[in-house]
Amino acid sequence: MIQKTKDRTLRITLPSECSIADVEAHTDRLRSQIGGVERVELNAEALEEIDTAYLQLLLSMKATLDEMDVHFCLSGLCAVLDEALGLYGIGD
Mean pLDDT of the chain: 88
Lowest mean pLDDT among 13-22, 50-59, 77-86: 77-86
Contact yes or no for 65/40 (Cβ under 8 A): yes
**Among 54, 62, 58, residue whose Cα is nearest residue 21:** 54
Check whether 22 has a pLDDT greater than 70: yes
Element (H, E) at 11: strand 9-13
| Cα separations in angstroms, 15 against 26, 37, 44, 80, 90 | 11, 22, 8, 12, 22
Residue range 58-85: mean pLDDT, rounded: 88
Q: What is the pTM of this model?
A: 0.85
Q: How large is the angle between the packed helices 79-87 and 52-67, nearest 10 degrees?
A: 80
